[in-house]
Structure 1
Amino acid sequence: MTHETTRIHPAALMYAEEEKAGKLSRREFLARTTALGVTAATAYGLIGAAQPAQAGGHAQQGGTIRMQMEVRALKDPRTFDWPQIAYFAHGWLEYLIEYNNDGSFAPMLLSSWDVNDDATVYTLNVRPGVTWNDGTPFTAADVARNIEGWCDRNVEGNSMAGRFAVLIDDATGTAIEGGIEIVDDLTVRLNLPASDISLIAGMSDYPAAVTPANFDPENMLGNPVGTGPYLPEGLEVGVRATLVRNEGHDWWGYAEGKGAFLDRIEYIDYGTDPSAWVAAAAADEVDMFYETTGEFIEIIEGIGWERTEIASGASIVIRPNQLAEVDGMTPYADKRVRQAIAMAIDNNVVLELGYNDRGEVARNQHVGPMHPAWADVPRIEYNPARALELLTEAGMADFEMDIVSIDDDWRKNTTDAVAAQLRDAGFNVKRTIIPGSTFWNDWTKYPFSSTDWNHRPLDTQILGLAYRSGEAWNESGFANAEFDALLAQANAIADADARREVMAELQQIMTDEGVTIQPYWRSLYRHAKPGFVGWDMHIAYLPQMYKVGLAA
């Protein structure tokens, strides 16, 4: 369904009836229909609802915002592994599509798209009139080149390859012949060898920033060619990064009423201790937090700052790495050890101690009720006595498990809660806490550690990124041919009710194999001092600072 025709994808009409009957949440309905190419306005119309007003509608032009945020080094966007990198780079490197808090996918550098009935052909319509900030027209060739780059498994750390696996030739690790077709200057067609419902969602994720021809990731600051409204003024890792309005660029978004209200955006790094952020707020050194967690939510409101919050599929995993070697052995390759770890942990306790009960308990499957095809599969039983028996059967009762985490608030507290319960069950556990400045360098390689994961709108997305064999972000070392085949099967089923049968099998494998401890789903919070608009906490941490402005 394109954004410029009257055709409504047949599935969208079915989803509208399901939403009206209470079988779908509003967010699920919008995600499903807009992923097919239905505009958000049309989707709301199908269910007789009014589309909410755009954030930032009452903003004034100009001004500066100072945002507390970890400032990380730039690198090839395909290898971005934390949204904070994208918050800086998105000032000039934009996205084809964006995902919004209401669940809808909206066009950015694309003007529209069309997905055929079995999700094997995607037609991408490039927004006319867009230029790179060096004056070069933005065309279908740019879109095709970026998608081809996303499909390159030979680029180390390229997580976009996991999102576009259906278009990749396993023999070469690159895009299949004929898969990416330039139809004309403003049209790209993706010809898939099998159905895949997840590509639009994948294009909206933060590593999908669109780069120019001859892009050099080693010289992103020296040659910041992009389509966005800002330019980088400076970057000092761990200290500060600044974006300033590109006065010489006729940004396409101005004519579309997209915003880019601020003249200047400053990201200031105060480390991982939230008490330092609160001190900066009290001293009027910052205007907004990237995120607020734990007890600091009440503390920051005590000085008069405002709150936004949203329930999400964001989470944390405390996972053993099945491939990791420790003293010449692979302690977590044994399924009994992994099952024992899961059986020793009460996720209710982890949520309470680790995240102040600000979320919902999860089942270690990394698929939840917020996902369209979630299946009601029980977690492995909580049984600490049996857990120690399993560990003993595996010959690992005396083995010291060293669990690593970052030195922040909620991630450290969550990992502490897991370690304490393992000790209570009789496990030999050591805790190692590493500064954030070094923790992230090898986050996928620790034998046993915790990592936070963002919300993704589709149930198959996170399973593909984190648990499919050989993916760049597969930190658990999990490799299971049956799981991979079922995941491909699930990605080919557009109807969530039909997909749920396959999802139940996938979730059961996650449980039986003891792949990870994924204890809860997080509610997300952000605070800012009064006087700003358009700064709502994003459900998936996606960078949309063009919506932020000073209140008119």
Structure 2
Amino acid sequence: MTFKRSILALLAATSVLAFAPAAIAATLTVGIQEDPDTLDPATGGTYGGRQVFAGLCDKLVDIDANLNVQPMLATSWTWNTDSTALTLNLREGVTFHDGTPFDAEAVKFNIERAQTREDSRRRAELVSVESVSVDGPLTVTLNLSKPDVTVLVALTDRAGMMISPTAAETEGDNFSASPVCSGPFQFAERSQREFIRLTKFADYWNADNIFYDEIVYTYVEDATIRLARLQAGDIQVAERIAPTDISAIESSNNLSVYQSSGLGTSYLSAGGRDTPFSTDLNVRRAFELAIDRNVINQVTYAGLYVADNQLESNASPYHIAEFPMPERDVEAAKALLAEAGYTAPVPVEITLANTLSDTRVGQIIQSLANEAGFTVTVLPLESATATQRVFAGEFDVFLSNWSGRSDPHLNIDTLIGCGRPAVEQYGGWCTEEVQELINAAQGESDQTARYDLYRRITELYLGDVGVIALYHPTWFYGAASNLDGIAIYPDGIFRPTGVKPAS
């Protein structure tokens, strides 16, 4: 059996070399579901982009498996007494891929760039940062306009990713075509809607924990095809394996499954159009009663996700147990439509990304809702196109997948906050009362008081059916069994640092 596995592992490695573009001796090939929209952390808005950034752009801080903030480019940090100033001590000896030194001036440049670019999607995450002070070559302070306990967590994602100031100033709006960061791998080439290739950065500060000469992110939108390519050895790691395919990986001697509970949520959001769903509360209530979250979870995800009605994951301490999801009630849904003065069928158009799982979810919702007096049209679009329509408000209802953040503010404010720039607006519903509560929770350091604020926020969006949360995903990865060092955290991102061929 040992000899057989060795032969199969050799064949898998040989297959990877045959299929990977411009492959060299040690190539790690990762199948991702989305083709990133842009390789600029300030403007990126896709989950596929976050996957690539994990190999390309280091952050000031990161999270661990338990959602604790961990050092990365910042080695330590302190808050002042009223949470209005965050001081970061930076790692010494770090350089960007173009040789530009990483220092406090570089941090100041990046934060201010993310705040001021017209197309930046990080402005809301950094809105409380009033100024950035360079206190020394490797010490920088973010001065806040108000208490904001969420800033540090925001720096664990794209708001905290550092790019070379030299390259940013030289390339301007073309930066994302050839991005320069300080991560373990540097940009080499991109074939749109095919692959992105990164090569190992020899001067990386943590180079001893990088074991591949290059990493290739291959765009494979369909989960079934990602599985097939993983089984064939064409790719070595595949993200977002469909739960219905887990058994196929578990039964293979050459593949392994990795999983983590997720922070994200999939939900239906009302858009900006003048439609019954967007404008009438009873229509939204009827629609929620017409669907069955458990059926969606069981049919699409083999029951391995968590059906739920809240935006915060059930793994979050801010998930409110006293607000359970309602059961399906077709007769009550029909009665609400009649009360609102509508004659069946009531039209609803659902825009969604044309992935296998989202399309299946849309079809299930269509079938369930049609039984209750709706006529649902499902409009599948390529992921980036669908995201653009969301930011433009050009939809009736959107089926969205939010990957989630470890602090509730970065979820709730993003999904139902008011006043965000168009390029950061993921939904069409918000109220002034909810926004006031969001703002209060943002600066509240007492956990009990903060919980009470999020309890009220949850009560309000559930009551108005501003969004209809459906389920929280579990992250499933498939990988060749001849790999070591893979760890999947609740954010679902594949981190290449520490991943190596099994000895």
Q: What TM-score do the two structures reach when normalised by structure 2?
A: 0.86
Matched AA of 2:298: E
| Structure-2 separation of matches of 1:470 and 1:262 | 44
Residue in 2 that maps onto 1:371: 316
| Structure-2 separation of matches of 1:376 and 1:203 | 29
**What displacement does 1:230 show?**
1.9
Matched AA of 1:455: G
| Structure-1 separation of matches of 2:288 and 2:324 | 9
Residue in 2 that maps onto 1:65: 28
**What displacement does 1:538 show?**
3.1
Output one character per residue of 1:8-66: Cα deviation in whole Å (capped at 9) or x when no partner: xxxxxxxxxxxxxxxxxxxxxxxxxxxxxxxxxxxxxxxxxxxxxxxxxxxxxx82211
1:189 to 127, 135, 141: 141
| Structure-1 separation of matches of 2:493 and 2:82 | 29
Paired residue secondary structure (1:486)? helix
Residue in 1 that maps onto 2:248: 299
**What displacement does 1:465 show?**
1.2
Structure 1 runs of 4+ off > 6 angstroms?
A: none
TM alignment of 1:470-489, pairs within 5 A = 470-471=419-420, 472-489=423-440
Output one character per residue of 1:76-121: Cα deviation in whole Å (capped at 9) or x when no partner: 3222112322333444422111112222211111111112343222
**What displacement does 1:435 show?**
4.0
2:163 to 195, 211, 215: 211
Number of residue equivalences: 468
| Structure-2 separation of matches of 1:437 and 1:133 | 28
8 A contact 2:354–2:380 mirrored in 1: yes
**What displacement does 1:535 show?**
2.1
Output one character per residue of 1:262-283: Cα deviation in whole Å (capped at 9) or x when no partner: 111112223x222222322232
CA gap of 1:405–1:225, structure 2 versus 1, over 3 A, is closer
TM alignment of 1:232-243, pairs within 5 A = 232-243=187-198
Paired residue secondary structure (1:78)? coil
8 A contact 2:178–2:187 mirrored in 1: no
8 A contact 2:485–2:500 mirrored in 1: yes
What fraction of aligned residue pairs are identical, expressed as a percent? 21
**What displacement does 1:443 show?**
3.8
Matched AA of 1:292: I
Q: Does residue 406 of structure 2 align to residue 464 of structure 1?
A: no
Paired residue secondary structure (1:196)? coil
Residue in 1 that maps onto 2:356: 409
Output one character per residue of 1:239-259: Cα deviation in whole Å (capped at 9) or x when no partner: 121111134xx22123xx5x1
**What displacement does 1:344 show?**
2.2
Q: Does residue 385 of structure 2 align to residue 433 of structure 1?
A: no
Residue in 2 that maps onto 1:180: 132
**What displacement does 1:371 show?**
1.9
**What displacement does 1:396 show?**
4.1
8 A contact 1:314–1:454 mirrored in 2: yes
Output one character per residue of 1:467-524: Cα deviation in whole Å (capped at 9) or x when no partner: 1113243332123111111011111222322211111110011111101121212211
Matched AA of 2:406: P
8 A contact 1:72–1:237 mirrored in 2: no
| Structure-2 separation of matches of 1:517 and 1:434 | 20
8 A contact 2:313–2:319 mirrored in 1: yes
Q: Does residue 262 of structure 2 align to residue 312 of structure 1?
A: yes
Output one character per residue of 1:300-345: Cα deviation in whole Å (capped at 9) or x when no partner: 3333310111112222112221x224xxx57512222222222322
Cα RMSD of the aligned pairs, angstroms, is 2.3
| Structure-1 separation of matches of 2:54 and 2:263 | 23
1:422 to 355, 366, 369: 369
8 A contact 2:110–2:162 mirrored in 1: yes
| Structure-1 separation of matches of 2:89 and 2:441 | 27
Output one character per residue of 1:396-435: Cα deviation in whole Å (capped at 9) or x when no partner: 4443111122232322222222222211212122222334
8 A contact 2:60–2:162 mirrored in 1: yes
| Structure-2 separation of matches of 1:181 and 1:370 | 36
Structure 2 unpaired stretches of 5+ = 1-24
Paired residue secondary structure (2:379)? strand
TM alignment of 1:35-184, pairs within 5 A = 63-69=26-32, 70-152=34-116, 155-156=118-119, 158-167=120-129, 176=130, 179-184=131-136
Residue in 1 that maps onto 2:235: 286
2:210 to 250, 254, 260: 260
| Structure-2 separation of matches of 1:532 and 1:81 | 30
8 A contact 1:71–1:267 mirrored in 2: no
Output one character per residue of 1:437-460: Cα deviation in whole Å (capped at 9) or x when no partner: 643442443221211111311222
| Structure-1 separation of matches of 2:279 and 2:65 | 39
8 A contact 2:260–2:474 mirrored in 1: yes
Matched AA of 1:195: P
Paired residue secondary structure (1:494)? coil
| Structure-1 separation of matches of 2:145 and 2:384 | 42
| Structure-2 separation of matches of 1:288 and 1:449 | 30
| Structure-1 separation of matches of 2:55 and 2:261 | 27
